[in-house]
Structure formats: structure tokens, C-alpha cells
Amino acid sequence: MSEPTGLRARKKERTRDAIGDAAVSLFLERGFDRVSVNDIAAAAEISKPTLFRYFPTKEDLVLHRFADHQGEAARVVRDRKSGIKPVTALHRHFRAGLDRYDPVTGLNDHPEVVAFHRLVFTTPSLAGRLTRYQLEDEEALADALGDGIQARLLAAQVLAVQRVLARTNWQKIADGRTAHDVHPEAVAEADQAFNQLR
Amino acid sequence: MSEPTGLRARKKERTRDAIGDAAVSLFLERGFDRVSVNDIAAAAEISKPTLFRYFPTKEDLVLHRFADHQGEAARVVRDRKSGIKPVTALHRHFRAGLDRYDPVTGLNDHPEVVAFHRLVFTTPSLAGRLTRYQLEDEEALADALGDGIQARLLAAQVLAVQRVLARTNWQKIADGRTAHDVHPEAVAEADQAFNQLR
DNA sequence: ATGACCAGGTTGCTTTTTTAACCGAGTAAC
DNA sequence: GTTACTCGGTTAAAAAAGCAACCTGGTCAT
């Protein structure tokens, strides 16, 4: 029922983490395009082909943290308890994210997280690639919601709302406020936005 | 001219160290035959066949620290400066070992080293295997000394002397004295023993 | 413009490691 | 006395990693 935690799987996961951590910390230190994949491979003590076996492109070295949340919205809809509407489930899930200051909500003031956001959104190739991830996420959510054009529209609107909320939160953090301080209005705005979706 | 420090070589060395360290620390903790090779492999996070690729037998997991000094006597004789007699070179090398409290001289009171010695000499299969290492060492030394039966005899006597000296030192340490305290008489005994060899 | 780099990726080929299964000897249960 | 462990050690096949060499596309001197 669970993952078979063999020796192989454990080491693969560790290697993946080592590569991702080395990459992100180098990127934060010197900027995305001032770090070569060779540098990352050297820092993670692996070879270049091995690096590309774990991550298809250099961009994914940064975006794997988003990729880990890939399909989350679709899963939330699919796994909702019976009697609960999709939008409600998504709403609750987003609010739970706010409550635990999940970085994907934009409501997180850890310096490293803030710097990471900045890195992603000020590096064009990263921002570009990120939208591709969002598209896939949207399709998955649409499939979970149903078949017609309405499912597609709803999926797009939900994810657009989440992006706006996250970006708003992040902006406030970027202006120097603390996550704890911003939290109440973030919740209020989320409630308002999700209610308008119905 | 030097070792090619590739990624592969570095990781191999680390793996070897990890296995050896895990093995010795488990042995010291629970005794040689209360630890299975499976335990060691698990502690070192490698598989059993991999363990045996690095160490031919369970005993060698302990004795690799001696094995690392394998052929040292022969090398000392071969690399001696011209004009220096073999026995003199070996004598100086042993004294240098005493001065830096090298564990192979028996003159070392670190708890871990003492426990390690105790482990080796109170476990029959280990003591047995150790004599095999010493035999190989003796043959190598004999070859370095020359061809005839006299070379063999001298080699055997030198190594016998070193073993007696080391055992004597270890005994004094085992009686509770410090290495620093024992050092002067260890040097004196070594000088006397090596002088009698000439 | 040409040639020499450096970047992100890729391609074979070899070495290393995992996995599961096995062998042979000892040993405890029943 | 058979059954069923455990332990040290081995085998064969498959996955993973390393390495060197390559491709493509840019950038910079000369």
C-alpha cells in the first residue's frame, strides 16, 4: 500500500534532493544564469549525465519544488469527501495552505523562500517554464472536474484565482510585512475570491 | 604521477570507509560474532554483495586497518637512502611510529584503539587471520632484503621483534598507564631490541 | 568570417550497485 | 531425524552512475 523503501529508492531520493538543494542554493547565491550545470553537478558530487537523468532541463532544477505540487488541485477534487463541492474542497485546501504558511500560497516570509520567489519571477526562462507547469496542472484539474467546456473554464478560473491570491500575498511580504501580520487579510481575500467563484 | 581523483574513485573510497567504520563501531559495541554482515551492510547503507566486493571476508572488515600497513616493512627497506642498512631503516621507522603514537606500535591509549586491540586479540578467528597477514608481510620483507635463507631469517626476526615490542607496550597500556608515560621505556626497549639484531 | 570557447543537453560504453535467489554449514525445535 | 532457522559467502541479471566524446547554438577575438 505504501512506497517500497528499498535501498535503491532511498538513495535515488537522496541524490535527487542533493542535486535540487545544491542547485537552488547556488542559484540563490549567484543568480540563475551565473551558475552552470557543471557547477551544480560538481557541488552535488555527481556527473552531468546523471544530473540530466534526474531533471530534464536546467529550469526544472528550480521548478521541481513546484512540480512536487503538480496535480495537487486535481487530487484535492478527486479525493474530496462525498457531498462536498469541488470549489469548496479547493477553498478549504487553500485556506489550510495559508494556515501552515505553505510557500505556494505566497504567504511565507522565510528569507530563503522570499529569495526563491524572487529568483523565479525575475528570471524570464523560469517564469516561462512555470506557466507550462500551470497549464498541465489546469488540464489535470479540468479532467477531475468533468468533461465539458464548463469544467475547463472553472479549472482555469480557480487556478487564476489562486495565482492572484498568491501573488498578492507575496507582494505584501515583499513590501516588508510579516507573514503572520498578513495572514488575516489573506484569509479574508481568499474567502471572498472563492465565494465569488460559486 | 598522483592518484586520479575522479568522482568514481572518491565515492569508492568513501564507501569503503563507511563500511569499515560501521563494522568496527558495531563490533566494538556488541562483539565480533554478535554482529552479522547483514547488520553491517544495513548500517553502512549498502547491499551484502557490495560489502563483499570491498572486503573478501568478515574478518577483513576488522583487519583492513592492519592491511593498510601491509608491506610497509618491505617498503621501508626498499625506499631507504643509500648507505643505510636495512635494520637501521626499520629501527628508525619503528621509533618514528612510537613518537607519533602509531597504533601499530601498541603505544596508544585512546579508548577506541585499546578496545580495538582487545577485540582483535580476544577473538580467535581474528587473531588467526592476522597471522596470515603477518606471514605475507614477512615474505615481502624477505624479498626486499635479498634472496638467501639469511634474508628470510632476518625478516622473521625483525617482525618477531616488532610484535614483541608492540605487545609489550600494549600490555602496559592495558595495565592502566598512559602512552606518554610509557613512551621513554618503549623507546629504550626498541633501541635495545634492534641493536641486538645486528 | 573564422576559429576558439563555453553553454545546455545527448549518446555509447564501462563500471558499480542493487536485488533476489541460492549454497553449505551449523543449530535449535519438535 | 527432519524441518526450519540463521549466518557467511556467491551468482546472475538489471538498474544506475560515471566518463569521454559529441552536437547545437551563442559570444567573443582576431
pLDDT tens for B109-153 read 999 999 999 999 999 999 988 998 899 999 999 999 999 999 999
Compute the distance between CA of residue B101 and CA of residue B170 in angstroms, rounded to an integer: 11
Compute the distance between CA of residue B105 and CA of residue B98 in angstroms, rounded to an integer: 6
pLDDT tens for B17-57 read 999 999 999 999 999 999 999 999 999 999 999 999 999 99
Distance of CA B69 to the CA centre of its chain: 5
CATH 1.10.357 segments of chain B = 66-197
Scan for cell 635463507, then name that residue.
Answer: B149
Q: Residue B46, CB, less than 7 Å from strand C?
A: yes
Q: Which residues contact B180 (CB under 8 A, 6 or more apart)?
A: none
pLDDT of residue B67 exceeding 90: no
Superfamily of A7-55 according to CATH: Homeodomain-like (1.10.10.60)
Q: So what's the pLDDT on residue B65?
A: 87
> Which of B7, B45, B46 lies closest to A45 in CB terms?
B7
Scan for cell 550545470, then name that residue.
Answer: A37
Compute the distance between CA of residue A72 and CA of residue B26 in angstroms, rounded to an integer: 44
Is the minimum CB–CB distance between A13 and chain B shorter than 8 Å? no
The dihedral over CA atoms of B2, B8, B11, B17, expressed in degrees to the nearest 10, equals -60
Class of the domain covering B66-197: mainly alpha
Chain A closest CA to B40's CA: distance in Å? Answer: 14
CATH 1.10.10.60 segments of chain B = 7-55
Q: Which helix (H) or strand (E) holds B115?
A: helix B111-122
Q: Taking chain B, what is the end-to-end CA distance rounded to the nearest angstrom?
A: 37
Q: Residue B10, CB, less than 7 Å from strand C?
A: no
Nucleotide minimizing C1' to CA distance for residue B33:
D7
Residues of B with Cβ-Cβ distance to A45 under 8 angstroms: 7, 10-11
Compute the distance between CA of residue B55 and CA of residue A144 in angstroms, rounded to an integer: 54
| Average pLDDT across chain B, whole number | 93
Residues of chain A with pLDDT under 50: 1
Query: What DSSP letter does each residue of A1-67 carry, written as one string?
Result: ------HHHHHHHHHHHHHHHHHHHHHHHH-GGGS-HHHHHHHHT--HHHHHHH-SSHHHHHHHHHH
Q: So what's the pLDDT on residue B3?
A: 58
Nucleotide minimizing C1' to CA distance for residue B61:
D8
pLDDT tens for A91-138 read 999 999 999 999 999 999 999 999 999 999 999 999 989 998 899 999
Q: So what's the pLDDT on residue A1?
A: 46
Neighbours of A153 (CB within 10 A): 12
> Which of B7, B10, B45 lies closest to A7 in CB terms?
B45
Confidence at B1, pLDDT banded by 50, 70, 90: very low
State mean pLDDT over B154-159.
95
Compute the distance between CA of residue A179 and CA of residue B128 in angstroms, rounded to an integer: 67
Is the minimum CB–CB distance between B50 and chain A shorter than 8 Å? no
Question: Sign of dihedral through CA atoms A179, A182, A188, A190?
Answer: negative
The C-alpha cell that represents A64 in the structure block: 521541481
Q: So what's the pLDDT on residue A7?
A: 83
